[in-house]
Structure 1
């Protein structure tokens, strides 16, 4: 039997982890914030506008073009308005937290595969500082 077989211990525990995440009250709250944002056309449009304008300014700046103070002020005002929108702010917070959860779980799984054991707190701390397996400096 392989690790990916439907009845393997690894797949059973993977489904248990997924169930624990899906059943968590805080996760449900984060999902609701995302769904609320997706159903709010005004918040979505505001987000898209700020995101696109930020990309435009970023590309302009990296092309060597100096940004005009009015461009910066207008962008900052739009960003501030976005952050003061309760639905959009909750979405952005939820998005950050969900991405952090995904990265943390991924880090543990990746380090387990690399180390051949469950990573310790010290292993995780070293990887965050760019240590052996985090920075790739030891051939991991």
Structure 2
């Protein structure tokens, strides 16, 4: 359920770091198939090359994506829209279909401290472990982090 009230107070600060979560329509597990997950994973470096973002960490889960990045010169809404529209176009083309891939909207969190970076990067990278898709950080093929993270919970 998406509400315009979610956008009240939302500020997009250029060059600040964000954690962005985007969820598939009806939580359909689009990315449980490796070819689909690969399509999405390949978009992160493309958006970095276009200087829209500087990716810090990301994970493609079966039905959602977490992405930690520093925002470039365009607003957060532009980056989210570009990512979702491009991935939907590529996935629909691959599967010879039309239709929605993503839920409307997204969840964002602006990161303001080094500790916040570390906490959010660890959360992103540990997501497959918590979901039972990997036994340790670094094992899941559709996750990436700029810095090495050790699993403190074991």
Do the two structures share a fold, i.e. TM-score over 0.5?
no
Structure of greater relative contact order (alpha carbons < 8 Å, 6+ residues apart): 2
Q: TM-score, normalised by structure 2?
A: 0.20
Higher strand residue share: 2
Q: TM-score, normalised by structure 1?
A: 0.22
Larger Cα-atom Rg:
1
